[in-house]
Amino acid sequence: MCVHILKAGYHISVYNRTKEKAKELIEGGAQWCSNPKKVAEICDIVFTIVGFPQDVEEVYLGENGILKGIREGSIIVDMTTSEPSLAQKIYNEAKKKNVNSIDAPVSGGDVGAREGTLAIMAGGDKVVYDKVLPLFKLMGKNIAYMGKAGSGQHTKMSNQILIASTMIGVVESLLYAYKANLNLSEVINVIGKGAAGSWSINNLGPRIVEGNFDPGFFIKHFVKDMGIALQEAKRMNLSLPGLSLANQFYISAMALGFENLGTHGLYKVLAKMNGINI
């Protein structure tokens, strides 16, 4: 995601817990900073994307966090999938410093990040969103302003709820085709172009067939997301039985040691349940 901005000619300053992972950016001209606070002291717009809500809190509100070094009038954009309430908290803390905050989680996995085709759903002040939009367009194709602070995160929860149940369908569909001795690639080619077509079957289905369960998005992060969605649903007095079922399957994946596989690693769980060796 950062590479697209760098290649567009913007001056970039970066921080990552593991400097080696920023090597490509540094070699491309990005300036290395020793912590998030240093980045904020230099930059007019600060983007973040980390793992869990506690990471977001540390990056923004910790001792060496962004809000410790941010300058008045700057913009912060958190693209982590995180808690809507935390997005609102960061928005309010930023306002105290005359800083603008946007929550803008993404969807599209590793493929979308590499190709600059991510879906980006943003919450915050519309006038600030409009200022950041040219940069969003370097990273994504499906970009939308969803409303006040936290609205981007709520939209991403809707996205994850849909993906969770869809992935069960993808996995069960391919297991059925496998037991029926069908050619899985041919099955995907046919049903992926009809009413059953989805991003998951067309992009992750072929990976399942190849036995490639490398993560575009980690199971452990997906479990985190489903937990947030279920927590928000409980707060809204909303029952989501489909999501609850999917969450249990993914918790089983974690128990089997699959937490670092991609979300399509669910195939391994249901295969194991059915005595299928893959």
**Do 91 and 227 sit in the same domain of this protein?**
no
**In the chain, what is the straight-line distance between the N-terminal and C-terminal CA atoms, in Å?**
34
| DSSP classification of residue 19 | G
**Do 87 and 182 sit in the same domain of this protein?**
no
Q: Which domain holds residue 45?
A: 2-148
Q: What's the pLDDT score for residue 248?
A: 97
**Do 117 and 167 sit in the same domain of this protein?**
no
Please report whether residue 67 resides in a domain.
Answer: yes
**19 catalytically annotated:** no
Q: Which residues contact 107 (CB under 8 A, 6 or more apart)?
A: 118, 119, 121, 156, 159
- Residue whose pair of structure tokens reads 């149940």 in the numeric block: 165
Note whether 204 and 170 are within 8 A (CB): yes
Q: Which of 148, 170, 195 delimits the end of a domain?
A: 148
Q: What's the pLDDT score for residue 216?
A: 87
Per-residue pLDDT of the chain (278 residues; tens, 9 = 90+): 999 999 999 999 999 999 999 999 999 999 999 999 999 999 999 999 999 999 999 999 999 999 999 999 999 999 999 999 999 999 999 999 999 999 999 998 888 999 999 999 999 999 999 999 999 999 999 999 999 999 999 999 999 999 999 999 999 999 999 999 999 999 999 999 999 999 999 999 999 999 999 998 999 999 999 999 999 999 999 999 999 999 999 999 999 999 999 999 999 999 999 999 87
**Do 15 and 89 sit in the same domain of this protein?**
yes
- 160 Rama class: left (phi>0) / alpha (psi -120 to 50) / beta: alpha
Q: Given 37, 89, 156, 268, which residue is catalytic? A: 156
Strands 140-147 and 13-14: unpaired
**Do 144 and 192 sit in the same domain of this protein?**
no
**Do 126 and 256 sit in the same domain of this protein?**
no
Phi/psi of residue 161, nearest 5 degrees? -60, -45
**Do 180 and 262 sit in the same domain of this protein?**
yes
| C-beta contacts of 15-23 below 8 A and 24+ residues apart | 15/39
CATH number of the domain residue 29 falls in: 3.40.50.720
Q: What's the pLDDT score for residue 76?
A: 98
**Do 61 and 136 sit in the same domain of this protein?**
yes
- Looking at the structure of the chain, the number of domains it has is 2
Q: What's the pLDDT score for residue 122?
A: 98
**This prediction's pTM:** 0.92
**Do 111 and 197 sit in the same domain of this protein?**
no
Note whether 184 and 177 are within 8 A (CB): yes
Tell me the two tokens of residue 256: 């089997």
Please report whether residue 12 resides in a domain.
Answer: yes
**Do 251 and 169 sit in the same domain of this protein?**
yes
